[in-house]
Structure 1
């Protein structure tokens, strides 16, 4: 019987959430069961159990020798060390595709693994992984995957892989990987900090369920900002309402002082955006300059 699976055997280095979720998605696309290697045997066993059609690799050399698709799903700071260790294993003369899922790094970090038979690429899923692989496999459908290939052939191989996951490939140049990743962290990670601070202030104000109160407002603001950008802004900064902002600053200073610096920083950033977009009129410049002095 001839298998229709695109890969002979898939190897995964790493045992975290991303490794488990993508491994779970790829398990059906490998002729043989996946092999997983990690420094912690307990976490390896847990990843194998989550993925299902998988087994633990005896060592990294075993994985490197037997697999034609190798995914490196380790922490950003550990990636270079893993690449160096993998490069010390016996060279493979069989065609293989090696990729990592780090957002920060491009394909260049994998250069020690490139050869006439080994293609390399960076493939970063632009989504949050929460430790629920089954639902995350569904979330990968139509999700964007930032791809930086070491060659055009490697980019084509990455596109094939992303398609298997149901995702959409977004090419990112090597030199732009750090900026790309900073944008994602600013938009997603800092959003968590922003919401947590707002909930803290609401709790201090006596609101019993801050997240329930915020949810409809925040979801609407997120939708309008994704669709309209700064054109979707509303509130006292847009109106130039000095007295309202002054009262905000006083209340935060007295009752929630830890929120005052981020509030002021975000307000100033918002005014900068407004001035760039709409500051041609003299009245607008004067109005927003007055607010900046308070902040």
Structure 2
């Protein structure tokens, strides 16, 4: 049976990692070649060639030509893009415009909603590293968090997520910043945490710290996702003050850059232990002050 595209004309704003992955994922779902617009003309042409798409000269052309417009630009650029996309004349009923930002909800798209478009935030809860083929594969089963401007827009967003092979989750406008903070805390701060551990291992004479850390960190991640805070192990849980004192002394001498994040995370762990009903040794809190 011949595949019937879900959209007549898809337009994508942006030329970065997310835009490229979305162009690759959606090009077979557009009857016409995907339209692309970006601030850098050479990047725009390169992405269009890579994805068998075509470029447009202005954002207003996307607003008038497409039934799906996907905005994949940086958070700080979003307001300017929305202003440029806002139509100066009536548009076709049912045009769906969404942005892929985690930070913002649907409210930032109000000028487009007021112009007659359906609008929503549709944020893929995954990282994009610049490998579009791999990222398209990861979208299958990935969670996409939706904040729509109403039932129709939410339905259009859910349809897009289904086309991408993802799983739709909804977050209210007022909780959007908290949602995004949680993702950044888990994913971005994890990168910083591991970088600090790598530095300390190198200072301890380990030639390949990533290889040493990988089995431990993978097991800790899997256990944490499965059991939550109950997966915690180590000296803080045991109340081993002497071990923590030795850690702090060693870092002071050989890896002082790790002292501040180590103390911060250790204090956060003690706070979580207290909330979970554990008795925390008073000496540990004194050591980490």
TM-score normalised by structure 2 residue count: 0.96
Q: Distance in 1 between matches of 2:207 and 2:179?
A: 38
Pairwise CA distance, 1:197: 0.4
> Is contact 1:3–1:31 with CA below 8 Å preserved after alignment?
no
CA shift digits 1:172-226 (9 cap, x unpaired): 0000000000000000000000000000000000000000000000000000011
Q: Does 1:292 align with 2:285?
A: yes
Pairwise CA distance, 1:60: 1.3
Counterpart in the other structure of 1:46: 46
Distance 1:107 1:246, change over 3 A: same
Counterpart in the other structure of 1:104: 103
Pairwise CA distance, 1:290: 1.4
Counterpart in the other structure of 1:13: 13
> Is contact 2:96–2:119 with CA below 8 Å preserved after alignment?
yes
Equivalent residue of 1:274, what SS? helix
Q: Distance in 1 between matches of 2:34 and 2:89?
A: 20
Equivalent residue of 2:102, what SS? coil
Q: Distance in 2 between matches of 1:110 and 1:128?
A: 24
> Is contact 1:17–1:133 with CA below 8 Å preserved after alignment?
yes
Structure 2: runs of 5+ lacking an equivalent: none
TM-score normalised by structure 1 residue count: 0.94
Q: Distance in 1 between matches of 2:115 and 2:88?
A: 16
Equivalent residue of 2:276, what SS? helix
Q: Distance in 1 between matches of 2:261 and 2:146?
A: 33
CA shift digits 1:56-102 (9 cap, x unpaired): 11221212111110011110011011111111554413430000000
Q: Distance in 1 between matches of 2:40 and 2:14?
A: 9
> Is contact 1:64–1:89 with CA below 8 Å preserved after alignment?
no
> Is contact 1:148–1:155 with CA below 8 Å preserved after alignment?
yes
Q: Does 1:22 align with 2:11?
A: no
Counterpart in the other structure of 2:137: 138
> Is contact 1:8–1:30 with CA below 8 Å preserved after alignment?
yes
Distance 1:88 1:64, change over 3 A: closer
> Is contact 2:105–2:176 with CA below 8 Å preserved after alignment?
yes
Counterpart in the other structure of 2:157: 158
Most deviating of 245-254 and 54-63: 54-63
Q: Distance in 2 between matches of 1:240 and 1:291?
A: 7
Counterpart in the other structure of 1:244: 243
> Is contact 2:12–2:19 with CA below 8 Å preserved after alignment?
yes
> Is contact 1:61–1:90 with CA below 8 Å preserved after alignment?
no
Equivalent residue of 1:275, what SS? helix
Structure 1: runs of 5+ lacking an equivalent: none
Equivalent residue of 1:278, what SS? coil
Most deviating of 54-63 and 205-214: 54-63
Distance 1:127 1:48, change over 3 A: same
Give me the CA root mean square deviation.
Answer: 1.4
Q: Distance in 1 between matches of 2:90 and 2:202?
A: 59
Distance 1:241 1:39, change over 3 A: same
> Is contact 2:12–2:70 with CA below 8 Å preserved after alignment?
yes
